[in-house]
């Protein structure tokens, strides 16, 4: 296996701390039901939150990791529901693969359209991304807004949208668990979801950073 450099911490001290943290997670979890590359995703999510429940709550479409890695290697865009995901992702790591991030949640036209149609900004942000031809082949990263995820699922079912991967991890109490359950029923589009109410942008960032690391191993 190739030695990662781009997707590692920049200092020896930082790398040692991160690797020691991963070793602690591995030791405390012991056996699990994930494949090796899936575990790299779950382990980094646990590392980011110190929440071991993600061992079990995190579910993968059978092609999720493979297609997510290929999308990264192809330089596919990442379209997020909120700015926090774009800010949290490492720019040097993204730049290494030629990956750009996009979010439209705060755009004036998105806000205006959401008010006019009595929908959420997140719904209109996904529709804007689709109008800009960004979603097909993209990694769609949703950590905050269940309505964004439901809109993406609608476009998959009704408009034939084909993202490379949907990382569906919205957090909350209204439609969060339901939106992820609906996504997990889709057979022909890869996804990674967290069952139930838990989620958030931090977890999406952790999952994508793990995919970037696996992608570097594959180079």
CA 202/CA 133 separation, integer angstroms = 26
Residues marked as catalytic: 47
Please answer whether residues 202 and 88 qualify as being in contact, where contact means their C-beta atoms are separated by less than 8 angstroms. yes
SS3 of residue 2 by DSSP: coil
Q: Which parts of the chain fold into alpha helices (H)? A: 12-29, 36-49, 54-57, 64-73, 83-88, 91-97, 108-117, 121-131, 146-159, 176-184, 201-218
| Tokens of residue 120, six digits | 């959420």
Q: What are phi and psi of 193, to 5 degrees?
A: -135, 160
CA 117/CA 122 separation, integer angstroms = 12
């Amino acid at each position: 296996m190739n030695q990662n450099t781009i997707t590692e911490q920049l200092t020896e001290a930082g790398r040692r701390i991160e690797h020691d943290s991963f070793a602690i997670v591995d030791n405390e979890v012991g056996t699990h039901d994930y494949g090796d590359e899936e575990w790299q995703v779950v382990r980094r999510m646990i590392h980011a939150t110190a929440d071991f429940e993600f061992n079990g709550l995190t579910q993968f479409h059978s092609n999720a990791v493979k297609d997510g890695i290929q999308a990264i290697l192809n330089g596919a865009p990442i379209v997020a529901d909120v700015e926090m995901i774009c800010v949290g992702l490492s720019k040097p790591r993204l730049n290494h693969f030629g990956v750009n991030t996009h979010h439209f949640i705060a755009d004036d036209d998105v806000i205006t359209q959401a008010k006019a149609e009595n929908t959420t900004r997140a719904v209109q942000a996904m529709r804007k991304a689709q109008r800009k031809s960004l979603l097909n082949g993209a990694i769609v990263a949703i950590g905050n807004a269940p309505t964004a995820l439901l809109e993406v699922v609608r476009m998959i079912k009704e408009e034939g949208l084909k993202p490379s991967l949907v990382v569906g991890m919205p957090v909350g109490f209204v439609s969060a668990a339901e939106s992820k359950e609906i996504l997990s029923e889709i057979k022909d589009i890869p996804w990674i979801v967290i069952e139930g109410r838990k989620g958030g942008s931090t977890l999406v960032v952790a999952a994508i950073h793990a995919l970037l690391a696996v992608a570097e191993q594959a180079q």
